[in-house]
Amino acid sequence: MKQFLLLVAVANHGSIRRAADDLAVTQPAASKSLLEMEAALGAQLFERTHSGLVPTKAGSCAIEHARGMIGSLRRLKFDLDNIEHNRQGILRIGLIMGAVTGAFCDVIRRACESRHGLTVDAQEGTSAELMLKLQSGELDLVFARGGMLEGQPDIETIPLAAEPVCIAAGLQHPLESNRIYECSDLAKYSWVGYESRAPLADLLSTWFQKHAGRPPVIKLRTASALVTVATLCNSDCLALLPSSVFKHVACDDRIKKIKTTSTLTLGDYGAYWHKQSLRLEVIRSVLLDSST
């Protein structure tokens, strides 16, 4: 299935690099996978031109079949859900950390008010992970970072909200919440980090390289807000958190905000779904509040 998704992504972008970004893999891995497909099929699938990669006749045929296989997987998942849940409506949502206390709140409220007995299956992850699952049909609706899957004609999106970021620490941390620190001051401490492709990881690394001249010391990597907060409460580590998540957790007096001279933000995030989704009516109904 990943090879089918790669084939379609290369066709959409005309670029191995952008296709690899879509699928959260390295460019060498994507190039190798494409060569393996061509070897298995015994045909050249793309030609390199001045404007990028263009499908050959064999490539166009393979791309059409790949789209069909991806659509069949989506229908299979839909039918299996109906069997497992006795035809009760189910909506599979993936969301980044910053959307949990934001747009998702409106969606879950509308889902609970649904007259169709709708059940929501929600999972948290990084934008790259969630987008891959959206393309393969494992998820119906995704809240992810802005700019993801640009150029994908089968994916529809609406912008939702900006996502400011803050630095958080446990209440026992020696840094004081009423002082303003430089990045170099914070470089003395270890950090809770995120996987290498996560936007929060890129933001932290870029900020440190610019202001401290070296990468931060990462003691733990996680995509879970709960794991992050638990670590902060039991160590002297620091972490970047979406401000909406911090505000939600800070109500329990478990963590505090560390002020800096820098303004940190991840920009906007949006809602994404497949235009041919079998749950299109449900998706649009639960997004009504979020998009107005």
* CATH code at position 215: 3.40.190.10
DSSP letter (8 states) at residue 140: S
Note the pLDDT of residue 291: 47
Read off the CATH number of the domain in which 31 is found.
1.10.10.10
Q: 173 in a domain, yes or no?
A: yes
**Which of 51, 70, 89 corresponds to the end of one domain?**
70
Residue 101: pLDDT above 90?
no
Tell me what the mean pLDDT of segment 14-38 comes to.
86
Residues 136-147, mean pLDDT to the nearest whole number: 83
| 66 pLDDT tier (thresholds 50, 70, 90) | confident
Look up the domain containing 206 and give its range. 161-267
Question: What per-residue confidence (pLDDT) applies to 239?
Answer: 96
Distances (CA, A) of 40 to 12, 33, 45, 62, 283: 22, 10, 11, 12, 38
Residue with token string 């497949």: 274
Query: Does residue 192 sit within a domain?
Result: yes
Q: Would residue 281 count as lying in a domain?
A: no
Which of 70, 93, 118 marks a domain boundary?
70
pLDDT at 62 > cutoff 60: yes
Residue 146 has pLDDT above 70, yes or no: no
- Predicted confidence (pLDDT) at residue 251 exceeds the cutoff of 90: no
- The band of 247, judged by pLDDT with boundaries at 50, 70 and 90, is confident
Residue 121 covered by a domain: no
pLDDT tens, residue by residue, 220-245 = 998 788 899 999 999 999 999 988 88
Total tally of structural domains belonging to the chain? 2
Question: Nearest CA to 279 among 114, 159, 126, 99?
Answer: 114
Indicate whether 54 pLDDT > 50: yes
Mean of the per-residue pLDDT values for the chain? Answer: 85
Domain-located, residue 137: no
**Residue 292: its pLDDT value, please?**
43
* Mean pLDDT for the stretch of residues 93-102: 83
pLDDT at 154: 79
CB 225 within 8 A of CB 249: yes
